[in-house]
Amino acid sequence: MGAHPRGDAVIRDNRIPQKTLGQWIADNPACLGAKVKDAFQGHLPFLFKVLSVNTALSIQAHPNKELAAKLHAQFPQHYPDANHKPEMAIALTPFEGLCGFRPVEEIVSFLQTAEGKDTSGSNGDLLLRLHSQYPGDIGCFTIYFLNLVRLEPGEAMFLGANEPHAYLQGDCVECMACSDNTVRAGLTPKFIDVLTLCEMLNYTPAPSSSKIFPATQSQLDPSVYLYDPPVPDFAIMKIEIPSSIKLYLVSAVDSASILLVIQGTAVGTSTAAASEMTLRRGSVLFISANESISLHLSSPDGMLLFRACCLL
């Protein structure tokens, strides 16, 4: 969900002449909001995804802007744009991932255990699972070096530049800067660039608990929880509407945003829309800057929504 040239979202409203979100934004740049339009040269600065991870995703990291520009200039076939790619994953189900280097004493302990060929316990189980997915891939052994982070629904993990990571299992929503630059080193059939990855990584050790990114409940709206990472490109709002509320206003913000329905049903209305919009699980709305949406809830269990935006 976004307007990257390699994955421009398709507009499903056939009353609109533009066929993709990128075309719509190019013809209506004011929809981004004045600050976002100026700061990001008329482009939507984020991508929004839903991932359902059954097989582990590659051991990887994302370059900072300087390295991204260099890699794109040298190897455009592997690094298709010049932008950085900080990202955040918010768990929808119990979720497992690898993130950042473990404290040194943990690494030493695990390597001593591995040397004794003891594959019992959670690390051993994970090693066997990864080996069954990627037989013979040395990337399986990164579990002894990287933190195993387990997230419960609503918990998040932020991945800045040069942070080694891999998603292992579970469902999540993910938001990132508008980029497709990934440097991989294992657990993948895709292009592997071990030398670049080893040169760029952040090797600072830290415990797994430090990798869980907190959300802040809004003081203006108790239904909203904000995940605001230390980058300007994106922020995410989790909106939990209780069953007791039948009319809810998705407030206007000074940024274009993408709204995703995870749970519940409603009819949406706004001054910008020509007709009512039926929203259900999987519905996606693009909301222009400074526009609000009224939701008339019809589900007995409330609604769960995620909204990606850019809060400058």
Q: What residues are labeled active site? A: 184
**Residue located via tokens 């008339």:** 296
* Burial annotation 65-78 (CB, 10 A radius, 16+ → b, else e): eebbbebbeeeeeb
Question: What tokens appear for 153 in the block?
Answer: 């629904």
Reduced to 3 states, what is the DSSP secondary structure of residue 107?
helix
Which secondary-structure segment (H or E) carries 72? Answer: helix 65-74
In the DSSP assignment, the letter for residue 140 is G
**Residue located via tokens 């850019």:** 310
CA–CA gap between residue 109 and residue 263 (Å, rounded): 43
State how far the alpha carbon of 266 is from the alpha carbons of 141, 243, 260, 307, in Å: 47, 12, 12, 16
Q: What's CA 224's distance to the chain center, in Å?
A: 18
